[in-house]
């Protein structure tokens, strides 16, 4: 039996700032929030999404697959979710792995079992029958393709996560793909596998089809109780006035069309992509929350204008614990890039920002932020992304130094827990304020530590976009 996922909404601790449902023609009310990464990924989206999930009934992962790693620090221990939405971690929510995802069924089955074993699979779990499957052959193909690029020209290698994401999305677009629904019908699965294998000529060391078919059918059988058509489930939920949180994976600057192509992932990790990846219509969306780290990181290859390859970058990597949650690769680190953030804000239509990891910058005297680029021809760039990655690689970042704030020791964190935004050090407020003014988007959340609850909400009285927010916080 598929899980019902139709309990009445029981959101706890609804924010008085953001929760007011919007009346819709026809009498229904709705609350759809979208959370997406505003940089190159790893902005601590998992932490922010987990906290927002407390106010949602459904939390839907809308894209990507096992390339993502959402890390959540629970009192019981750390969880890294790869293919599950963080909705599965709360008793009050239904976590949906949505239609825009590419899921690796064998790894997904293991991820569920592992959470169950730890007693952390608390919410319901639903898997979209329309999601595509990442197969073992896609993983082989992904590695083979990136090695091929590297052999032809080392500078062209993408440094993918080698989880098969690109080839799986390519097969989806090419209509060769295998969907979750196919895993439940062994004869169809076999036919589609044979068709797909027929297209993979020239790729060495593909796993044998018989073994793969058996493994997939077995994983499909174990996943079957969770599989359903998720769009009608969400439409019905909205009609009942229940709230839905769309959880983007990867991040805006990795978008296949609007990121630093070709150094991107193969999906649309933007707010528009979250709608395509869930089947919800745009008019339902009330809020788009962009998650940005107080500095910038990137894993894999591609242009990164504010990267610091010296001591400062090393400091950010060490203090920020900047290693990939999925691949364990050290992340490239640099300062906050307001050009990229302004671009992401325009692209996604952020209604607010969540700025994370501000604790990592604590104790620095001054903090450089990149306010614009100067291009080789002398022109300046403030809020667009040069179309060609080569051009972005040649951009010279222009920095402004903002005053630093003291380290956030345990006592300072305790005050933040108790008093909220008013306990933010004034230089930190100033930093956040500059972000709001420069991007035209208010800061609604500030993450000051990895743990659940280590987030400050900016209280009501939020200023108009682009206006100073400091006055509103000192209240
Ligand atoms: P793919 O998504 O595995 O194809 O990798 C393409 C590029 O996106 C590589 O540079 C990856 O490191 C990067 N990437 C993919 N997913 C994430 C993510 O969740 N966080 C950070 N980088 C990612």
| d(CA 163, ligand 1 centre) in Å | 9
Ligand 1 contact, 42 CB (< 6 A): yes
Q: Which of 194, 189, 188, 192 is nearest to 209 (CA)?
A: 194
Ligand 1 contact, 331 CB (< 6 A): no
Mutation to probe ligand 1, out of 35, 39, 41 (largest number of atoms < 8 A from CB): 41
Q: What are the structural domain ranges in the chain?
A: 30-128+226-287, 133-222, 293-371+397-473
Ligand 1 contact, 102 CB (< 6 A): no
Q: Write down the residue that tokens 């004869």 correspond to.
A: 187
Ligand 1 contact, 254 CB (< 6 A): yes
293-371+397-473 folds as Adenylosuccinate Synthetase; Chain A, domain 3 (3.90.170)
Question: pLDDT digit string (tens) for 60-72?
Answer: 999 999 999 899 9
Structural element, H or E, at residue 97: strand 94-97
Q: Which of 67, 53, 126, 65 is nearest to 95 (CA)?
A: 126
Ligand 1 contact, 278 CB (< 6 A): no
Number of H helices, E strands in the chain: 15, 21
Write out the two tokens for 150: 């590297």
The strand ranges marked E within 363-411 are 366-374, 380-381, 396-403
Ligand 1 contact, 296 CB (< 6 A): no
| d(CA 265, ligand 1 centre) in Å | 6
| d(CA 4, ligand 1 centre) in Å | 34
DSSP readout, 57-76?
Answer: SEEEE-SB-TT--EEEEETT
Question: Closest Cα to atom 9, ligand 1: which residue?
Answer: 160
Q: Which of 133, 162, 168 is nearest to 149 (CA)?
A: 162
Predicted pLDDT at 324:
85
Length of the chain: 475
Ligand 1 contact, 41 CB (< 6 A): yes
Ligand 1 contact, 88 CB (< 6 A): no
| d(CA 272, ligand 1 centre) in Å | 19
Q: Write down the residue that tokens 């008013």 correspond to.
A: 422
Distant-in-sequence contacts of 415-419, Cβ < 8 A, 24+ apart:
416/448, 416/454, 416/456, 417/453, 417/454
Write out the two tokens for 198: 């027929």
Q: What residues does 373 pair with on adjacent strands?
A: 381, 397
Q: Is 42 a known active-site residue?
A: yes
Q: Please, are residues 469 and 453 in contact by the beta-carbon 8 Å criterion? A: no
- Write down the catalytic residue from 50, 70, 142, 433: 70
Structural element, H or E, at residue 393: helix 389-393
Predicted pLDDT at 274:
98
Instruction: Collapse the DSSP code of 219 into the 3-class scheme (helix H, G, I; strand E, B; otherwise coil) and give the result.
Output: helix
Ligand 1 contact, 95 CB (< 6 A): no
User: What is the C-alpha to C-alpha distance for residues 50 and 40, in angstroms, rounded to an integer?
Assistant: 20
Q: Please, are residues 343 and 385 in contact by the beta-carbon 8 Å criterion? A: yes
**CA 299 and chain centroid, separation:** 14
| d(CA 396, ligand 1 centre) in Å | 24
Q: What residues does 103 pair with on adjacent strands?
A: 133
Ranges of residues in the chain whose predicted pLDDT is under 70: 1-30, 459-475
| d(CA 175, ligand 1 centre) in Å | 23
Q: Is 70 a known active-site residue?
A: yes
- Position in ligand 1 atom list of the atom nearest CA 142: 4
- Position in ligand 1 atom list of the atom nearest CA 301: 10
Residue 309's CB: how many other CB atoms inside 10 A?
Answer: 11
Ligand 1 contact, 265 CB (< 6 A): yes
Question: Closest Cα to atom 20, ligand 1: which residue?
Answer: 41
The model's pTM: 0.91
Ligand 1 contact, 297 CB (< 6 A): no
Question: Closest Cα to atom 17, ligand 1: which residue?
Answer: 250
> For strand 352-356 and strand 102-103, is the pairing parallel, antiparallel, or unpaired?
unpaired
Largest Cα–Cα distance in the chain? 67
Ligand 1 contact, 291 CB (< 6 A): no
User: What is the C-alpha to C-alpha distance for residues 20 and 380, in angstroms, rounded to an integer?
Assistant: 41
CATH superfamily, domain 30-128+226-287, is: Adenylosuccinate Synthetase, subunit A, domain 1 (3.40.440.10)
| d(CA 473, ligand 1 centre) in Å | 36
| d(CA 300, ligand 1 centre) in Å | 7
133-222 folds as Adenylosuccinate Synthetase, subunit A; domain 2 (1.10.300)
| d(CA 249, ligand 1 centre) in Å | 10
DSSP readout, 261-323?
Answer: TTSS-SS--SHHHHHHTTT--GGGEEEEEEEEESSEEE-SSS--TTB--SHHHHHHHHHTT-B
Sign of the Cα torsion 20, 25, 26, 31 reads: negative
Q: Which of 294, 273, 250 is nearest to 69 (CA)?
A: 250
Mutation to probe ligand 1, out of 265, 268, 273 (largest number of atoms < 8 A from CB): 265
Q: Which of 284, 287, 276 is nearest to 35 (CA)?
A: 287
Mutation to probe ligand 1, out of 140, 299, 320, 327 (largest number of atoms < 8 A from CB): 299
Ligand 1 contact, 67 CB (< 6 A): yes
> For strand 70-74 and strand 77-81, is the pairing parallel, antiparallel, or unpaired?
antiparallel
């Amino acid at each position: 039996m598929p899980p019902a996922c139709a309990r009445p909404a029981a959101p706890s601790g609804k924010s008085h700032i953001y929760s007011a449902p919007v009346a819709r023609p026809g009498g229904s009310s709705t609350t759809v929030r979208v959370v997406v990464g505003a940089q190159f990924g790893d902005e601590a989206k998992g932490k922010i999404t987990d906290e927002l999930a407390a106010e949602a009934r459904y939390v839907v992962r809308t894209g990507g697959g096992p390339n993502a790693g959402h890390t959540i620090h629970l009192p019981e221990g750390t969880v890294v979710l790869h293919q599950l939405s963080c909705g599965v971690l709360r008793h009050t929510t239904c976590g949906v792995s949505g239609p825009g995802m590419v899921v690796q069924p064998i790894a997904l089955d293991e991820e569920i079992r592992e959470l169950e074993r730890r007693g952390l699979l608390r919410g319901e779990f639903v898997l979209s029958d329309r999601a595509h499957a990442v197969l073992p052959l896609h993983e082989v193909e992904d590695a083979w393709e990136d090695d091929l690029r590297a052999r032809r020209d080392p500078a062209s290698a993408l440094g993918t996560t080698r989880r098969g994401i690109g080839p799986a999305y390519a097969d989806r677009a090419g209509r060769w793909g295998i969907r979750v629904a196919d895993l439940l019908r062994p004869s169809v699965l076999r036919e589609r596998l044979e068709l797909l294998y027929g297209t993979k000529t020239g790729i060495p060391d593909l796993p044998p089809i018989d073994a793969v078919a058996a493994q997939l059918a077995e994983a499909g059988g174990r996943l079957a109780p969770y599989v359903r058509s998720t769009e009608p489930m969400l439409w019905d939920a909205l009609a009942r006035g229940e709230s839905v949180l769309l959880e983007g994976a990867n991040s805006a600057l990795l978008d296949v069309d609007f990121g630093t192509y070709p150094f991107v992932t193969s999906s649309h990790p933007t707010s528009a992509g979250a709608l395509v990846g869930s089947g919800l219509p745009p008019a339902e969306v009330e809020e788009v929350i962009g998650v940005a780290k107080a500095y910038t990181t990137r894993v894999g290859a591609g242009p990164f204008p504010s990267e610091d390859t010296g001591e400062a970058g090393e400091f950010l990597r060490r203090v920020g614990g900047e290693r990939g949650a999925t691949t364990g690769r050290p992340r490239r680190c640099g300062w906050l890039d307001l050009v990229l953030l302004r671009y992401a804000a325009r692209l996604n239509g952020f209604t607010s920002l969540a700025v994370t990891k501000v604790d990592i910058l604590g104790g620095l005297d001054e903090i450089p932020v990149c306010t614009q680029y100067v291009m080789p021809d002398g022109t300046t760039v403030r809020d667009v992304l040069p179309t060609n990655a080569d051009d972005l690689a040649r951009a010279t970042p222009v920095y402004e130094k903002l005053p630093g704030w003291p380290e956030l020791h345990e006592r300072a964190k305790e005050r933040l827990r108790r008093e909220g935004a008013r306990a933010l050090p004034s230089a930190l407020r100033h930093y956040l304020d500059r972000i709001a003014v420069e991007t035209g988007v208010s800061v609604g959340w500030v993450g000051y530590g990895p743990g659940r609850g280590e987030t400050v909400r900016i209280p009501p009285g939020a200023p108009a976009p682009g206006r100073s927010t400091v006055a509103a916080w000192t209240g």
